Structure 1
Amino acid sequence: MSKQEEMLHMLSELVMMDSGSYDKSGVDNVGSYLINAFNELGFVETIVKQEEYGNHILLKQKKTNKQPSILLMLHMDTVFPVGTSAVRPFVVKDDKAYGPGVADMKGSHVTTYFALKTLYETNPTILNQIDVLFTSDEEIGAPSGRSIIEEQAIGKKAVLVMEPARKDGSVVTFRRGGGRYVMRVEGIAAHSGNDPEKGASAVEELAYKIIALHQLSDATAGIHVNVGVIRGGTAVNTVADYAEADIDIRLSKMEQASELEAAIESIANETRIKGTSTTVKGRITETANDRSNKTIQLYELVREQARLVGIEVGETSSGGGSDASYTSALGIPTIDGMGPVGSGFHSEEEYLQVTSLQERTTLLLNVIQRVLSKDVVFK
């Protein structure tokens, strides 16, 4: 079996394991698979157990007794519900592999494993300098994973986040921050034909608020507010006694957060329909990670190593959140998108470019070795 065939076999097994963020048993199955694989490379696991989400897994070399310099970060959860892999199983067509989570980010599980396998076979002592962290809830803003990520990142020379590279092969050096909120309006129910004047429509009140929320968006400042889901009412002939909206916000700088949160609270507190009341709950779940000087230096190192193996790697920003935001906020050089090339993330069209599996394995291998060189200092 060729190396690419081995990679595709491992990828197929992982993709066929459903592991949506709220599917604890599915995520833990993936975790068990990865533990067994990395145990063969001398890594031992520390399992951080969770009740609601999948368990987080930290892998270290069994013989290491010093602080590793590199943290490799990956997540095991996907956005796809239980049963998706049965309906849409792993398949390869024209150099593209398809299936739920194939690029985001089970392909990265494969490239990480094979890069470290090569080191295990050629220079095993270097593995003492590497920690590998698999988290279980990245796709929902890391409610249980963030503190673990921050704890493990402290003191590291560099963090390499194994999210997939973009369609053109670019890595991510900047991500916007964001948050999730739920705004709920309580009204007064009444029959819409017999006595509508006795009611207070929560749906009507929420409509005013949705318009106001969307007006908070400012493309120039990199702020975007989106009401993506609304619910409310009980029957078409009844004045609605409740309505609620799920709100997603994106921002470019963390100093924008407090002003934006205050504006959302102000909208909640302003009443247009007498008899209604409004509450809002939520938080900033992802910090914006700046393109710092240290990260720029790490990116230049990645680009240099890519060119040495015949790959051109550009840089880009992303409006989506990632665990990279938390390590970058700590001032640690962080590059996101170090995984294989893919596109169509979070959709039925998601795919991974098969030829990029070996290319990105080699790139990761070389970047690790270069970062660990004594002459490389990020400042």
Structure 2
Amino acid sequence: MESFLIQHESEMLLLLEELVNIDSGSHYKDGVDRIGRLLETSYKELGFEVNKIEQEEFGDHLIMQHKDAVDPEIIILAHMDTVFPEGTVAERPFRIEGNRAFGPGVIDMKASQVALLYAVKALIENGCTAYKNIRIVLNSDEEVGSLTSRSFIEKEAAGRKYALVMEPARKDGSLVTARRGKGNYTLIIEGRAAHSGIEPEKGRSAIEQLAYKIIQLHELSDHEKGINVNVGVIEGGSSANTVSDHAEAQIDIRIAELEQAELVEEKLEEICSSSEVSGTKILLEGEMNRPPMEKNRKTRALLRIIQDVAGEIGVEIEDTATGGGSDASFTSALGIATIDGLGPVGGNAHSDKEYLEIPSLVERTLLLATIIQRLTEKHQK
């Protein structure tokens, strides 16, 4: 398989250029659907059947497996959307400088889409039928929390033995075996407006009430236990000489263990159940929308297999934990052995300096193909 991939590296880079040069921000449905159509055609040419889950607001999701596949044991997750709005490609299209490729979404995760497609091609070219043991889910709203695709991911993942998630490897090449869970909340305070010079006593300051709650919310953080509560955005009031009648805060919550979700939610409700400024009303909206990906026994066992495979092809693999979210959290929470970060190596995702280490494209594609082969052989014995 390695020789096949080496021979097709330039072809892989051409596909990568084509993908990167299509704007596909989460909220730009037309662009994401262009990516989807391109990939759908490519997989159909390899004998894959494609089930398109049409969406109104976001791009359509794709669920694919080979026409000869029967209840695959491996689910592979990869997203087609990026964080970059329409028009970004015109400002900074795909380019190569030395051993790095640049462009919007080049590492998160258009290089991973190329790696996944060519891993399948390499298996087919090598006469290995392991490509029949995978079900692929390509979603279109991962960067905004997988709002419409989570249910499909969980449905398609149910009963699988392994989940391979194609987020990029870390800058040092590490895979991801743990991610913190995530919640997003909005705290809304309603007060009573009044002129701050003429009759301030008639006002009830929503901003003052919000200030009390911000302090209480931040006190929930426990960094040693992996719990972090951050009020990242606040707004309120209408003018400096008016007692504010409205204030809001956007709250980001991270947890390390699934059991912490209920504890944090209980404390949030407790904080918001009473007011320090009489006459104000408090409303909390939101939810914990990503469970944590925990490095459990099943994940450790899968990591050992992957490290053995990597060693055989001359790649040294370490693993790490990260605070960022991904769809790996959904499969992990279902009790499926899950490894993330199986895409190529790069860095600076979500920025104008995002890059791919080009030599890792063939290396990590070979690793992925060999992992699929090994996991399939493991259960055929």
Q: Quick check: TM above 0.5?
A: yes
**In 1: Cα distance, 2:129 partner to 2:259 partner:** 43
**1:343 paired residue among 340, 344, 347:** 347
Which residue number in structure 2 is paired with residue 371 of structure 1?
A: 375
- 1:229 matched to 2:237? The reply is no
Please tell me the residue identity of whatever aligns with 1:327: T
Which amino acid in structure 2 is aligned with residue 72 of structure 1? I
TM-score (norm 1): 0.95
Amino acid at match of 1:11: L
Checking the alignment, whether the CA contact within 8 Å between 1:70 and 1:160 is kept in structure 2 is: yes
1:23 partnered with 2:28: yes
**1:127 to partner: Cα distance:** 2.0
Say whether the 8 Å CA contact 2:175–2:319 is kept in structure 1. yes
Question: Is it true that 1:312 corresponds to 2:316 in the alignment?
Answer: yes
Q: CA deviation at 1:143?
A: 1.7
Unaligned runs of at least 5 residues, structure 1: none
1:134-149 alignment, distance < 5 Å: 134-149=138-153
**In the alignment, which residue of structure 2 is the partner of 1:96?**
100
The one of 283, 286, 300 aligned to 1:282: 286
What pairs up with 1:168-247 in 2 under 5 angstroms? 168-247=172-251
1:260-279 aligned within 5 A: 260-279=264-283
Partners of 2:7 and 2:83 in 1: CA distance = 31
Aligned to 1:353: 357
Deviations 1:320-360 (A, max 9, x none): 11111111111111110000001112222221111100000
User: Following TM superposition, by how much is the alpha carbon of 1:177 offset from its aligned partner in structure 2, in angstroms?
Assistant: 0.7
Q: What displacement does 1:194 show? A: 2.4
Contact 1:370 1:376 in 2 (8 A): no
Is the counterpart of residue 38 in structure 1 residue 55 in structure 2?
no
Paired residue secondary structure (1:269): coil
In terms of mean alpha carbon deviation, does 189-198 or 174-183 score higher? 189-198
SS of 1:260's partner is helix
1:6 to 2, 8, 11: 11
- C-alpha distance in 1 between matches for 2:266 and 2:252: 15
Does the aligned pair in 2 maintain the 1:142–1:285 contact within 8 Å?
Answer: no
Amino acid at match of 2:160: K
One-letter amino acid of the structure 2 residue matched with residue 101 of structure 1: G
- The one-letter amino acid of 2:304's match is E
Give SS of 1:352's match.
Answer: strand
Letter of the aligned partner of 2:253 in structure 1? I
For 1:185, the aligned partner's letter is I
Moved over 4 A (4+): none
Q: Which residue of 2 aligns with 1:50?
A: 55
Larger deviation, residues 358-367 vs 232-241:
232-241
How far residue 376 of structure 1 moved from its aligned partner, in angstroms, is 7.8
1:329 corresponds to which letter in structure 2?
A
Whether the aligned pair in 1 keeps the contact of 2:128 and 2:373 (CA below 8 Å) is no
* SS class of match (1:289): coil
1:2 Cα deviation (Å)? 5.3
- Post-superposition Cα deviations, 1:168-193, rounded to whole Å, max 9, x if no partner, equal 11101111111100111111112222
Q: Distance in 2 between matches of 1:108 and 1:267?
A: 43
Q: Supply the AA of the counterpart residue of 1:234.
A: S
C-alpha displacement of 1:33: 1.4
Aligned partner of 2:3 in structure 1 is none
Aligned 1:315-334 pairs, distance under 5 A: 315-334=319-338
Q: Does 1:105 align with 2:109?
A: yes
Take 1:196 and 1:12, find their aligned partners in 2: how far apart are those partners? 61
- Counterpart code for 1:74: A
Q: Which amino acid aligns with 1:47?
A: K
Secondary structure at the aligned position of 1:372 is classed as helix
Q: Which amino acid aligns with 1:128?
A: K
| Residue identity opposite 2:111 in structure 1 | G
Displacement, 1:375?
5.5
State the SS of the aligned residue for 2:272: helix
Cα deviation digits, residues 32-67 of structure 1 (max 9, x gap): 111112112111210111222221100111233x10
Q: 1:196 deviation in Å?
A: 2.1
1:185 match: secondary structure:
strand
1:256 to partner: Cα distance: 0.9
For the 8 Å contact 2:66–2:132, the answer to whether it is kept is yes
SS at match of 1:220: helix
1:259-292 deviation per Cα after TM superposition (whole angstroms, max 9, x unaligned): 1111112222221222211101111111112212
CA distance in 1, matches of 2:151, 2:202: 49
Q: 1:124 to 1:47 in 2, by over 3 A?
A: farther
Q: 1:63: which partner in 2?
A: 68
Question: What is the TM-score with the length of structure 2 in the denominator?
Answer: 0.95
Change (3 A) 1:125 1:366: closer
Question: Shift of residue 236 of structure 1?
Answer: 2.7
CA separation in 2, counterparts of 1:88 and 1:175? Answer: 31
C-alpha contact (below 8 Å) 1:24/1:53 kept by paired residues: yes
Unaligned runs of 5+ residues in structure 2 are 1-5
Q: Are the equivalent residues in 2 in contact too, given 1:295–1:334 (CA < 8 A)? A: yes
Distance 2:238 2:163 in 1: 50
CA distance in 2, matches of 1:192, 1:238: 5
